[in-house]
C-alpha cells in the first residue's frame, strides 16, 4: 500500500457545508474507507490549506477516482502527493549509487 499526503482547500460552498454540518468531515472519511483508502492522520490547518490528510491506498488510480468524485461536488480542491518513508528513500538512493 502506498502513502499519500493530501492538502485540501475548501471552497465557499465547502465552508458553508462545514459550518452547517461539521460532522460532514466524518461522513467523507467513511466514504473514503469504502473505496479502499485508509485514513491514517487528519488535521485541520490554519493558512493556505484547510486540512491535511495522510492516507494509505492501493494505487494512484484509487486516490484519483476518489478525489475526482469528491472534487466534482464543488466543495474543495485537493492536492494529493505520493509520500515515501525516509528510510525507504535513503535505501533507494543507496541502490542508485551502485548502478
Round to whole Å and give the CA distance between 14 and 29. 15
Q: Which fold has domain 2-97?
A: Alpha-Beta Plaits (3.30.70)
pLDDT in tens, the chain (99 residues): 999 999 999 999 999 999 999 999 999 999 999 999 999 999 999 999 999 999 999 999 999 999 999 999 999 999 999 999 999 999 999 887 765
All structural domains of the chain with their residue ranges: 2-97
Angle 31-36-40 (CA atoms, 0-180°, nearest 5)? Answer: 80
Amino acid at each position: 500500500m502506498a502513502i499519500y499526503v493530501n492538502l485540501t482547500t475548501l471552497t465557499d460552498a465547502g465552508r458553508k457545508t462545514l459550518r452547517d454540518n461539521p460532522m460532514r468531515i466524518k461522513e467523507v472519511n467513511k466514504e473514503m474507507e469504502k473505496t479502499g483508502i485508509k485514513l491514517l492522520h487528519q488535521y485541520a490547518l490554519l493558512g493556505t490549506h484547510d486540512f491535511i490528510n495522510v492516507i494509505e491506498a492501493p494505487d494512484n488510480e484509487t486516490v484519483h477516482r476518489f478525489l475526482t468524485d469528491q472534487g466534482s461536488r464543488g466543495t474543495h480542491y485537493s492536492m494529493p502527493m505520493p509520500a515515501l518513508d525516509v528510510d525507504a528513500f535513503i535505501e533507494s538512493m543507496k541502490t542508485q549509487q551502485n548502478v
